[in-house]
Amino acid sequence: MDRTLRRVALAMGLLVSTTAIADDVTPPIRVFTSAPGAFSVRIPAGWFVKEIPSPETYEGYFSREKIDVAGDIYTYGLNVVRLRDYKSKFGLQAKSNRARAREYVDRYAAKLDMFGNPEVKIVAGNLPGMEAWSFELLVNVGTPSCVWTRIIVGIYRKEWFHAMWEVPCDQRTEKEAEIESMAQSLEVSTSWGEAP
């Protein structure tokens, strides 16, 4: 009987070890490089990708859920927007680039928040080669539709670039490190081809 108990204990110990190792495995990732958007970012390998390039704009959707057309909704993903002339597109009133980035993020948060009380804070972050600012937003706090967003905004002359990660608030703790890793991997070229 003593040997049987030892075998059971050993088997359980191995099972616990195997489970602990399996839980620590990070999901597979891949580097996505966009020629029309002139950037690269590491994303989970299983994510869907939808790019919508045009001569003056670039939109990219990278998400856990499939996006077929602009306007489709995902619960966890990344949206990238690049514009050749953001001044004509957004009509921002602020005088400095930093204030323009903040104005854009405040407008976006106000548009999403159904209760008129979004939380916006500036956090560390940059994009080499561009003036850049990083923000965190919380909208619809205390409701099932609460969303946590991480946004990096880059401005270079008249050009605009932003990368925006969104996740439901109840998944933030689980996904925040993954989002930070993606944000750190983001590389943007200041040159993205000539307009035709």
pLDDT, tens digit, 9 for 90 and up, residues 118-176: 999 999 877 877 889 999 999 999 999 999 999 999 998 899 999 999 999 999 999 99
**Helix, strand, or coil (residue 146):** coil
What's the whole-number mean pLDDT along residues 183-196?
78
126 in a domain, yes or no? Answer: yes
* CA–CA dist 20, 69 (Å, integer): 40
pLDDT in tens, 77-120: 999 999 999 998 999 999 999 999 999 999 999 999 998 889 99
What pLDDT, on the 0 to 100 scale, is given for residue 195? 45
Q: Is 6 inside a domain boundary?
A: no
- In this prediction, residues 37-44 reach a mean pLDDT of 95
What total of structural domains would you count in the chain? 1
Using a CB cutoff of 8 Å and minimum separation of 24, what contacts does 20-27 make? 27/178
- Average pLDDT rounded to a whole number, residues 27-49: 93
Query: Is 64 among the domain residues?
Result: yes
Q: Is the pLDDT of residue 2 over 70?
A: no
- Checking if the pLDDT of 19 tops 70, the result is no
79's tokens = 């949206």
Structure confidence at residue 26 as a pLDDT band (50, 70, 90)? low
Whole-Å CA distances, 151 to 15, 16, 157, 182: 41, 39, 19, 12
Task: Identify the CA nearest to 130 among candidates 195, 89, 86.
Answer: 86
Query: Long-range contacts for 138-142 (Cβ within 8 Å, ≥24 apart)?
Result: 138/169, 139/109, 139/112, 139/113, 139/114, 140/112, 140/113, 140/114, 140/115, 141/115, 141/117, 141/169
DSSP annotation of 68: -
Q: What is the pLDDT of residue 7?
A: 37
190 versus 38: the higher-pLDDT residue is 38
Asked whether residue 21 is domain-assigned, the answer is no
Query: Contact, 158 vs 137, CB < 8 A?
Result: no
* CATH number, position 81: 3.40.1000.10
Residue-range definition of the domain harbouring residue 159: 27-188
**Cβ-contact 138, 114 below 8 angstroms:** no
